[in-house]
Structure 1
């Protein structure tokens, strides 16, 4: 216990030193330290550091890309490990007498040190770039460290299958190397803050700085574990590396992305400070499973564990409430951005998992251990539900932004989001069920195979398979974005929705209105004549699918895109083609969906039109019925039908209500007089008489 107390004092000294160094500075010694750090990263590794780019965002991009590479590898190894829980002989035909413990160690190393750590470190560098408004002080040095980190993780994954495998998955002397590399990344952050003289540190920045301090402390504590072999030190290392590194880094991502995507400032500065202070001085309730049986004979130690684990719920709940309050009035951003949705789900799962971990911890230390089994399930939820979804948000948002590219397809993003969310939550729930069933069987003393236990065990792997699929979809999305994504700012996403929409009397559903292109902010005018001065004059030959017989968009739009649909219909007739034939020509990647880029390039290659991006966006938005930002085959087919008639292949009736409502009242009176129809009353009365006369 004395050794543990000594290391805890050292930990608090590290945090205090970082706080004073960042907020107050170290006087003239600050410049000296800055010079030493810069020399170590930029000058000492001469020749090697010159191999890496120095442009803004290159380091963050490289870290996150390496994290993305580890993502499908880690999820695949974890899935196989979960499947072996159900069928331990599944790999026997391929590898003979396979050691599941080695696979479990490899899966953990690739998940924690590869996927999660590299992605979140890349996110920290990206956040600093955006907060400081300039590149970090050593882009090339940080990129070089990412390569060392990647190679180190790869080596540890490989040796996990050998006799040199770490003694435990969470604590090993090998992990000291990560602490050394972490010191390099921390120095990059501190140099950047020093060089930019930032007047105020944001919540995300403080979480990042303190997290790196905790990373260095916990990894170097492995030396004590190596020298003493104390299980108490191993338990402490596991608690600190997950509670003071993984959780705060995940929180820093949420504190950055949610305000950024919603446009709202963080709701409460007081709650933010509470989260920063308490998350680093309390004991995370996760990873209680690693300390099974530890301290059961020490009542004082048991009370301390219960107290500090309970206090850990305060910063966790403060963070969750603060970020949910920050979402006020902007809940639609969850639909607009999968990164926002992923962060919110991760922050929601954090307190749920913490409560489960707390009960498991209390049951383990001094209790009857009746709930000790769910500790491993809560650890799984922490890694893949909290850390995994936070890293997924980084891959979907920050990684494309660091490359300066727009995401290629929103539909793939949403698909991968649902896969990883269902996989993380579903596998955690099934794992809890499996643990309870296993405990109930063990209490009965029944030794034979229990079918219910086998069923729940296999469902853990089956549910996690969704997460694995989602990682491959996300990786494919990244490849498409890198090869075909357009530069940020080249696509104007503003004002794509209809600003005003006029409705005739009748009944409508929300689905119908959204299908017409209306958004939550569209102003709907019912049975009201729009002021003519606001309309201006617009000559439109054809509507682009936003106008139907029961409503009309009153905003001013051009008819370029509508003319293109006429040309497309003529092209079909002249070449005797079907809708499917033209769709195959436009669909370059054979994804059975057309992005705005594919549609524009395809029309250009066919010689039909060379539309500007904003016209293509308006046309895609008009034809896009399900709102996924893409055009699929049924939507393109509906564009040429009489019911939808966005292309107006069939010449519409001149007295269609949607067309008549565009006319001024004086013009309607003139038409009515020519036809010998009563022209008295309101504009709507005249339109009704003209339509009845036409019928």
Structure 2
């Protein structure tokens, strides 16, 4: 049990770790001497023996493996989530499978859907995009493409173990989720070493989007160090805090870095504001994100601990509520920057209909409303009122499927040609999948939220009889959400088919982000402040690409 203010003490350790990491990177990562680099490369490749020879080491192979597997896990995550919604109003829908020994409950399927979507789909999309983006921004190659590819299958193994653990937490006296967590930590450690070695080999300065990805990747380690050092991992309040740090650290910061880069690539526009990127980075580190579950029981389950009860003191309650509300600043800064980057027009534009751009646009638009709803749910939980428990689950799903999935999977789609060297198999299939996913997520979850609100109102009024309207809306919401499953199947088929049948991307066709500020393409009049705000410096080459207004003449044949 934490005897001092648990929130501030744990956050202080987390912030100290982030500061130490920044100072080490700023001084050039002197800990990575020639000997340490050689040892690191040995651990990543030769120490794995013959296993490393099973995968290829071509440029982009690691990122490709991660984003393709993320599509597969998102397809399964959507299926489990849909089944959880359906069994919530029809508990016997899968009763026929009990003859095969499979008789899950709605709670089991919902928990499985959360794990597969967050740890499988979203996390693998973030890491895959990061393996492509960070070397580009650092002006170097990924330290080990082969290790990155091999680790993707190890990480998928951890997700598979989590699926088993969500259905049957204890097998032969062993807590299954602990095994999945161990494999997860091992895979993430390999990715961290790979990216740090890449960082040590950089040829230039570190841009702000690269800092977002770096701090997001390291936040999981800092979170674990802080939780163990202060004992927060065994306390109910501390488990809730670790969940919030993971949400704001890894998921928010990494998503922001990946999406800001991808929006610049997909739209062909300069990053709108470097100052807003700084506000996003600083705010993401020093605030608490409300997106996600209202409890910290998942942290306890992953580490095989008993879930503690939340019982915050007055000071912790005030600090938590303040930091949750303060998270609106980085969220608004990120949304404004991403939206204006997608819709800016001061540089040579890429294809405005590029796959992934619509998904990222959807995620940015949905982020602020979902943030507000999650903020109400979290402050309700922190204060101990628990008046919004009935809608907490649906708000949680909105945070995943209306925000995290469109943003990160959209970024993976936008970067797909640069990563794989091929276009998606079908642009029309990608558009169809987008409309199915957007309608299934927004309409389906809104209908489900309405059903939950009716149940809360009846419960507050003391009405014990269930409402037929609430039941009908719950049925309609689950049916509409099935569109998401179909959409992810189409996306998955499109990505896998594109690896073999997609049009080969020419060297001149690949998008280049204006975040890499060696050159700045100027297509229309702009201000010096706007150019500097996009990340340009004194050595940036301004390349005019505008069209001439002079009259043309006939071409000699």
TM-score by length of 1: 0.66
More moved, 377-386 vs 30-39: 30-39
Alignment of 1:620-639 (within 5 A): none
Partner of residue 280, structure 1:
285
Contact 1:434–1:453 (8 Å) recurs in 2: yes
Task: Tell me, yes or no, if the aligned pair for 1:360 and 1:375 is still in contact at 8 Å.
Answer: yes
Distance of 2:457 and 2:421 partners within structure 1: 54
Q: Does the C-alpha gap of structure 1 residues 298 and 340 become closer, same or farther in structure 2, counting only changes over 3 Å?
A: same
Find the counterpart in structure 2 of residue 232 from structure 1.
Answer: 237
- For residues 203 and 381 of structure 1, what CA distance do their matches in structure 2 show? 28
* Other-structure match for 1:46: 49
Task: Compute the displacement of 1:328 (Å).
Answer: 4.1
Kept in 1, the 8 Å contact 2:18–2:222? The answer is no
CA distance in 1, matches of 2:138, 2:369: 34
> 1:278 offset after TM fit, Å?
1.0
Equivalent residue for 1:189? 195
Check if 1:259 corresponds to 2:264. Answer: yes
Mapped contact 1:57–1:135 kept (Cα < 8 A): no
The residue aligned with 1:109 is 115
Match for 1:316 among 331, 338, 343? 331
> In the aligned structure 1, how far is the partner of 2:12 from the partner of 2:182?
19
Q: How does 1:455-474 map to 2 (within 5 A)?
A: 455-474=472-491
Preserved contact between residue 204 and residue 256 of structure 1 (Cα < 8 Å):
yes
**Is the contact between residue 122 and residue 409 of structure 2 (CA under 8 Å) also seen in structure 1?**
no
Shift of 1:114: 0.9
Report the alpha carbon displacement of residue 225 of structure 1 after superposing the two structures with TM.
11
Contact 1:102 1:160 in 2 (8 A): yes
Does structure 1 residue 366 correspond to structure 2 residue 383?
yes
Match of 1:403 among 392, 404, 420: 420
Once the 2 structures are TM-superposed, how far is the Cα of residue 133 of structure 1 from its aligned partner? Answer: 4.4
Aligned to 1:94: 97
C-alpha distance in structure 1 between counterparts of 2:231 and 2:55, whole Å: 35
Q: What is the rounded CA distance, in whole Å, between the counterparts of 2:388 and 2:350 in structure 1?
A: 38
Task: Within 5 Å, give how 1:275-674 maps onto structure 2.
Answer: 275-287=280-292, 289-290=294-295, 298-330=313-345, 335-366=352-383, 368-489=385-506, 534-536=553-555
Deviations 1:225-254, CA, capped at 9 Å, x for gaps: 999743223212321222211122221221
Alpha-carbon separation, structure 1, partners of 2:80 and 2:227:
25
Higher mean displacement: 171-180 or 88-97:
171-180
Instruction: Work out which of the residue numbers 83, 87, 94 in structure 2 matches 1:84.
Output: 87
Counterpart of 1:518? none
C-alpha contact (below 8 Å) 1:18/1:209 kept by paired residues: no
Does the 8 Å CA contact 1:56/1:134 hold for their aligned counterparts? Answer: no
Indicate conservation of the 8 Å contact 1:295/1:301, yes or no.
no
Moved more, 48-57 or 34-43: 34-43
* Shift of residue 34, structure 1, vs aligned partner: 2.8
Residues 123 and 253 of structure 1 are in contact (CA less than 8 Å); yes or no, is this contact kept in structure 2? Answer: yes
Tell me if the contact between 2:11 and 2:226 (Cα under 8 Å) persists in the aligned partners: no
Q: CA deviation at 1:409?
A: 1.9
More off after superposition, 356-365 vs 115-124? 356-365
Q: C-alpha separation between the residues in 2 aligned to 1:108 and 1:300?
A: 32
Closer, same or farther in 2 for the Cα pair 1:376/1:159, shift >3 Å?
A: closer
**What number of residue pairs does the alignment pair up?**
502
Rounded to whole Å, the distance in 2 between the matches of 1:235 and 1:472 is 34
Distance across 2 between alignment mates of 1:216 and 1:493: 34
| TM score, norm. by length of structure 2 | 0.82
Task: Give the greater-gyration-radius structure (CA).
Answer: 1
Q: 1:373 and 1:243, CA in 2 relative to 1: closer, same or farther beyond 3 A? A: farther
**Structure 1 residue ranges without an equivalent (≥5):** 495-520, 525-529, 539-695
Alpha-carbon separation, structure 2, partners of 1:145 and 1:461: 35
Corresponding residue number in structure 2 for 1:175: 181
Q: For the structure 1 residues 31 and 456, does the alpha-carbon distance in structure 2 shift closer, same or farther, using more than 3 Å as the test?
A: farther
Alpha-carbon distance in structure 1 between the residues aligned to 2:96 and 2:32: 62
C-alpha distance in structure 2 between counterparts of 1:183 and 1:210, whole Å:
14
Q: What is the distance in 1 between the residues matched to 2:271 and 2:156? A: 34
Shift in Å at residue 222 of structure 1?
7.5
